[in-house]
Amino acid sequence: MLGPTVLLLGGGYVLSRLANELEQGSFVITSRDLTKIEDWRKKHYFAELCDTAIPDQISTIFEKHTAIDTVIDSIPPFSGEKDKTLGGVENTCLSVNKSKAKRFFYLSTTGVFGISDGSWVDESTCCNPVSKKAVARLDSENYYRNHLDSSIALTTFRLPAIYGPNRGLGIAIRSGRFLIPPVERFSNRIHVADLVEILSASIRSSHLLPPILCVSDDLPAPYDQVIEHYCNTFSFPKPEIASETQWLSERMDHFRANAKVSNSLVKKTLGIELKYPSFKHGAGTEFSN
């Protein structure tokens, strides 16, 4: 091997787990957290300190690891004004365009759709995001789509809520922090193990992937059904319904969208079956390490 061929930008909940599944020496993983970098290097990972707000830090990675041909960007947009929000995206795009990268995978959100009537959405659905975070994600998607070099194959993965060990709806219900939306809302989710397999399969694929892939499990469901299952299965007290004030607060922004996400294309494209095809299969995995 000439060196690592995959760059994992942002070693958070998802990409740190993806790193554990990839062949050692085949990837570079980044973080702004020096402690994480040191821990990864003890595992003999190629790990680099990187803040996308600093252009030279990204460029240096490509100069050091010249065989990188696939980039996965999991870094959320910066908060604040639009110019600042896109700062990291602009720096990343500029550095990738100067590199030898041939594929770029951007991890976005199904929140960009903004559908509120509970209908099905897929890769062809028009976007009309309603929350600030979703607007920033769509701005980032569009920037990459418009500014990445045409020789680089861009695939945007639109992700729902991600759950797994120490993370997810079950944790929020158990802690008493979860508030039930006062109007019916559909929940969509993907288990982190299934998302890791989707990304691994995408890296392995020798075919040109579609420009957009929607990710979710097989069973979008009203929150009431999901909450009832957790409360009955684990004897949790039923959460309170959000008051009008709470419902209108920014805390509840992620409930503004209301859609059922189709995963047909991603499953067909990658030929995968999910380990956790519904919330019933994955419920309880949040409580394990």
177 in a domain, yes or no? no
* pTM strictly above 0.75: yes
Number of domains in the chain: 1
What pLDDT is recorded for position 249? Answer: 82
Residue type for 237, please?
Answer: P
| Structural domain of 56 | 6-163+190-219+259-275
268 lies in a domain?
Answer: yes
pLDDT digits (tens, 9 = 90+) for 161-217: 999 999 999 999 999 999 988 888 999 999 999 999 999 999 999 999 999 999 999
Q: Say how many C-beta atoms besides its own lie within 10 A of residue 81's C-beta.
A: 9
Q: pLDDT tens for residues 100-126? A: 999 999 999 999 999 889 999 999 999
Q: Is residue 118 part of a domain?
A: yes
244 in any annotated domain: no
Give SS3 for 96.
Answer: helix
- Is the confidence at residue 274, as pLDDT, over 80? yes
Q: What is the reported pLDDT for 1?
A: 57
Domain-embedded: residue 55: yes
Residue 283 lies in a domain: no
Question: Is pLDDT above 90 for 131?
Answer: no
The torsion defined by the Cα of 19, 24, 30 and 32, in degrees rounded to 10, comes to 90
What's 14's DSSP letter? H
Q: What would the mean pLDDT of 95-100 be, rounded to a whole number?
A: 97
Residue 4: half-sphere exposure toward Cβ, Cα within 13 Å: 24
Per-residue pLDDT averaged across 248-265, rounded? Answer: 87
CATH number of the CATH domain containing 112: 3.40.50.720
Indicate whether 171 belongs to any domain: no
